[in-house]
Structure 1
Amino acid sequence: MAGFVYRKNRVPEYQALFQKHDGVRQWWKTPRSPFIMYPYYAMLWTGFAGSMYMMGRTVLGHKTWFSEG
């Protein structure tokens, strides 16, 4: 049960990583960043595209996602 209390302090490593001026955004600097950012971008653009699609349908008088036929 001593794994959490006596583990290595990685704060200096992360501080050096995040303060390094290498032209990379902060949210892309860790190895886990792609696993977080790609699903985020997919949801962001899917939501934006869905909003634009439904806005266009609403302007044309349709209230549902699909045709009313």
Structure 2
Amino acid sequence: MAGWVYRENNVPHYQRLFQAGNKKHIRQWSQTPKSKIILPLYYVMLFGSFSASMYMIGRQIFGHKTWFGKG
């Protein structure tokens, strides 16, 4: 029921990891092993949604209310 109470404390491990990155001038969010997977997906979603918004704003300016075609 309360299995999380007896977990190993990972705070000292992450403190060493993040403090070692400061000497190498690596940003904190790109220091963990998971960040090699998560950050590219985040950037694709961030810039993809921004590009899609700018595309549709341009279409709205010219009077088109749909993604494709003349509608």
TM-score (norm 1): 0.82
Flag the structure with higher helix content.
Answer: 2
Structure 1 runs (4+) greater than 4 angstroms displaced: 3-7
Deviation at 1:68, TM superposition (A): 2.3
Per-residue deviation, residues 8-67 of structure 1 (Å, max 9, x unmatched): 332111011112312111110011101111110000011011011001100111011011
The whole-number CA distance in structure 2 between the counterparts of 1:58 and 1:47 is 16
Query: What is the percent sequence identity of the aligned residues?
Result: 55
The whole-number CA distance in structure 2 between the counterparts of 1:56 and 1:5 is 54
The whole-number CA distance in structure 1 between the counterparts of 2:32 and 2:52 is 31
Consecutive unaligned residues of structure 2, counting only runs of 5 or more, are none
TM-score (norm 2): 0.80
Consecutive unaligned residues of structure 1, counting only runs of 5 or more, are none
* Letter paired with 1:42: V
Counting matched residue pairs gives 69
The whole-number CA distance in structure 1 between the counterparts of 2:62 and 2:30 is 41
Deviation at 1:5, TM superposition (A): 4.8
